[in-house]
Amino acid sequence: MRANRSEPSIAIARFFVLALCTLANSRAVTSPADGAAAAGESVKLAPFEVRSDRTSDADYQTDSIRTATKTDTALQDVPQSITVVTADQILDQQMTSLEDLVRYVPGVTSHQGENNRDQLIFRGNSSSADFFLNGMRDDVQYYRDLYNLDRVEVLRGPNAMIFGRGGGGGIINRVTKQADFAPRDELTLQGGSFGDGRAAIDVDQPLSSQTAARFNAVYEHSGSFRDFVDLKRYGMNPTVTFIPERQTRITLGYEHLHDTRVADRGITSYQGRPADVPIETYYGNPADSQVHALVDLVTATIEHSAGKLRIFNQTIFGDYDRGYQNFVPGAVTADKSSVALTAYNNATHRRNLFNQTDLTYRTASGEIRHALLAGVEWGRQLTDNFRNTGFFGDDSTTILVPYGNPTTTTPVTWRQSATDANNHLRTDLAAAYVQDQVEFTRRWQAIAGLRFDSFDLQYHDNRNGDDLSRRDDLISPRAGLIYKPGATMSLYGNYSVSYLPSSGDQFASLTTVTQQMEPEKFTNYELGAKCNLRGQTTLTLALYRLDRTHTRATDPSDPSRILQTGSQRTKGFEFGLNGRISPAWTATAGYAYQDAFISNATAAAPAGAKVAQVPRHSLSLWNRWRLLPEMSLGLGLVHRSAMFAAIDDTVLLPGYTTVDAAIYYTVNHHWRLQANVEDLLNVRYYINADSNTNISPGSPRAIRLSIAGRF
């Protein structure tokens, strides 16, 4: 199954046929006299009714956010660096993954994650667990889709006061679409290069004056520019909103996501650079390589207002069954004739149950106003891990494959080695937190909060029956001060702390060594500014220092001992622009300068080593111009300077600049056509890595076409 790069994709031809047939059979539309509906206005279009809640101008701005403080707070009044990517921007750039999304977010880069999961690097700190859904923990390693999202919130810096353990460099929070009593029936079809094919629906209907239901679903079957690689996934997300009385709102939701794909660890390196092989080169046996994730999430939210008191309760239950089996490229032989290849598989089953209750109360004493928060959280996580090693022949865990043709069908036997995981873990969490947001005058505000977490981990080794445990009581503070020289500008300072328990963010194991380790500590100092220009464009600046301490280091006098004297530091600057520059021009831009290094020797690197996969400079810019009432153009640029693939700083991923483009055409109130081109100039580049010998090339020029219909 080799990707066809010499002829136009068959998927594009199918797309055009489908689009033409659909348009030819669509019903005639009676437009209002002015030819367009105001945003949010219902328009009668016999025999359908269409809610035109998006005009021809995209809206990339969000004025307020609840996630960062657990209270409804204007973004300008949150003393923290935050980027919100709206549904409009996701649609305009045809984003389908978090890797797509963070390309345009300053201070965040994607990690390869062994090409079986979402993994991001926030301000120099890598995490595969700092993912949240509507503010609730969603920490299992899998690929998340964006089909059912209203927006994605990227909060940088430690966030434990709000989210608990982890979140040392930042977090990603996905906010889902909810049933909102606005009639909507929408279908989107997408096709493109390398066999790309995707369909999504969004149906939102009021069932009565008190009840509304919404249903989002997606199906995708797409290929890749990489040989033998494809993916199949489908997801559905019904939600119901019930308002039994004016002061109470109840929302119930369920999501089912099934994702399968060919496991692909990228290409190897040679003499300090990515290997000079075609970017589609596949290593291993694709027929014996797969990734799967089966995710079921049940959510319930209750909101109630009683005068100045607001009660907000959320529950989430998640059942995650995910696993992968892959071949891993290794080092190249000195004569450049062969590449080492190993193999293993891994399975994880996790069940999460979390409940949060927040009480917020707004009060005033003279000119001083308070927004008080008190909350509690309870959670339990049950995790089973199992791993096998691949053996080539009777006892060899490594084979050599040709440098130029590393695909192999050599038989592999999968069985456990002496160190492979086979364990069960139970994690119990109880937390309490308080916070006060104070407005002293029109110019001065402050926020201060404190969270206490009791984190209890029980570990059982199924192989030898060993039982180990670890309990941590963590106190995570946050404090911020805001000065507003004018109504449209704020200057702030921020201090925050997070912790990561010694079991790591995925509870893969616990040993007699890690059982004794103190949690790693993340401390952030940040100064920033936010400015709203004419109420349509937001500018943000942030200058920060993030220290990671209590990391593991080898005792220089006794290599068999582990000390917690290692440390890491990231110093950086971030700039963001978001909003409408003119009535016809919408833009989002970001720049990040990051200097991430080992400040005191760790077990992995000496002092002074550069942290892996953290580019010194990264720049993004996306523009959308309305040329005609029915037609707009999009143009984007992404630049990233060189970075190292791993912490030993021996393999360099070159810097690159890519250009993206798009065109949008609104046929009528039913139909919208869109075409996106990624990597317009067809630049060869390498987007990320998992190690020195697992490097992911970026996609060459790719075209995606879509048609969206509303009925």
Task: Read off the pLDDT band of 13 (50, 70, 90).
Answer: very low
Q: Is residue 417 part of a domain?
A: no
Task: Read off the pLDDT band of 505 (50, 70, 90).
Answer: confident
Q: Which helix (H) or strand (E) holds 399?
A: strand 399-402
Cβ atoms of 466 and 423 within 8 Å: the answer is: no
Burial class (CB in 10 A: 0-12, 13-18, 19+), 458: middle
Averaged pLDDT of the chain = 90
| Per-residue pLDDT at 24 | 38
Torsion angles phi and psi, residue 22, rounded to 5: -65, -45
Could you give the 3-state DSSP secondary structure of residue 556?
Answer: coil
Structure token digits, residue 634: 């999009």
Q: For the residues 596-619, what does the mean pLDDT come to?
A: 94
Task: Read off the pLDDT band of 660 (50, 70, 90).
Answer: very high
Q: Is residue 418 part of a domain?
A: no
Q: Is residue 244 part of a domain?
A: yes
Task: Please tell me the total count of domains within the chain.
Answer: 1
Q: Which of 211, 151, 137 is nearest to 379 (CA)?
A: 137
Cα separation, 192 vs 223, in Å, equals 10
The predicted-structure confidence for 329-338, as pLDDT tens digits, reads as follows: 999 999 999 9
| Per-residue pLDDT at 57 | 60
Give the percent of the chain with pLDDT over 70: 91
For residue 287, give the DSSP letter: G
More confident residue, 561 or 211: 211
Q: What angle do CA 343, 347, 349 make, to 5 degrees?
A: 170
| Per-residue pLDDT at 28 | 34
Whose tokens are 């364990």? That residue is 423
Give exposure, 186-199, as e/b (b: 16+ Cβ within 10 Å): bebbbbbbbbbbbb
Cα separation, 44 vs 50, in Å, equals 7
Ramachandran class of 457: left when φ > 0, alpha when ψ lies in -120 to 50, beta otherwise = beta
pLDDT at 584 over 90: yes
Torsion angles phi and psi, residue 472, rounded to 5: -130, 135
Half-sphere exposure of 144 (CA within 13 A, CB side): 28
Specify the range with the lowest mean pLDDT, choosing from 5-14, 305-314, 400-409, 633-642.
5-14
Q: Is residue 5 part of a domain?
A: no
pLDDT at 48 over 90: no
pLDDT at 533 over 70: yes
**pTM of the predicted model, to two decimals?**
0.90
pLDDT at 7 over 60: no
CB atoms within 10 A of CB 606: 12
Whose tokens are 């450049």? That residue is 336
Task: Read off the pLDDT band of 323 (50, 70, 90).
Answer: very high
CATH number at residue 467: 2.40.170.20
Task: Read off the pLDDT band of 561 (50, 70, 90).
Answer: confident
pLDDT at 262 over 80: yes
Torsion angles phi and psi, residue 539, rounded to 5: -110, 135
For residue 609, give the DSSP letter: P
pLDDT at 374 over 90: yes
Three-state SS string over 118-185 comes to CCEEECCEEECCCEEECCEECCCCCCCCCCCEEEEEEEECCCHHHHCCCCCCEEEEEEECCCCCCCEE
* One-letter amino acid of 499: Y
Q: Is residue 636 part of a domain?
A: yes
Cα separation, 557 vs 411, in Å, equals 45
Torsion angles phi and psi, residue 303, rounded to 5: -120, 135
For residue 504, the enclosing domain spans: 10-403+424-710
Q: For the residues 604-625, what does the mean pLDDT come to?
A: 95
| Per-residue pLDDT at 560 | 65
Task: Read off the pLDDT band of 18 (50, 70, 90).
Answer: very low
Cβ atoms of 226 and 280 within 8 Å: the answer is: yes
Cα separation, 330 vs 651, in Å, equals 13
Q: For the residues 249-274, what does the mean pLDDT come to?
A: 97
The predicted-structure confidence for 285-303, as pLDDT tens digits, reads as follows: 999 999 999 999 999 999 9
Structure token digits, residue 41: 């206005």
Q: Is residue 288 part of a domain?
A: yes
Q: Is residue 1 part of a domain?
A: no
pLDDT at 555 over 80: no
Q: Which of 287, 294, 289, 282 is nearest to 325 (CA)?
A: 289
| Per-residue pLDDT at 542 | 97
Specify the range with the lowest mean pLDDT, choosing from 34-43, 414-423, 496-505, 631-640.
34-43
The predicted-structure confidence for 52-100, as pLDDT tens digits, reads as follows: 344 346 788 888 999 999 999 999 999 999 999 999 999 999 999 999 9
Give exposure, 57-95, as e/b (b: 16+ Cβ within 10 Å): ebbbbbeebbbbbbbebebbbbbbbbbbbbbbbbbbbbb
Q: Is residue 375 part of a domain?
A: yes
Cβ atoms of 524 and 157 within 8 Å: the answer is: yes
Q: Which of 694, 504, 689 is nearest to 614 (CA)?
A: 689
For β-strands 631-640 and 656-666, DSSP reports them as antiparallel
Structure token digits, residue 513: 């060594």
Total residue length of the chain: 711
pLDDT at 49 over 50: no
Cβ atoms of 339 and 283 within 8 Å: the answer is: yes
Specify the range with the lowest mean pLDDT, choosing from 52-61, 96-105, 685-694, 700-709.
52-61
Could you give the 3-state DSSP secondary structure of residue 336?
Answer: coil
CA 375 to chain CA centroid, nearest Å? 26
Cα separation, 118 vs 107, in Å, equals 17
Q: For the residues 153-165, what does the mean pLDDT come to?
A: 94
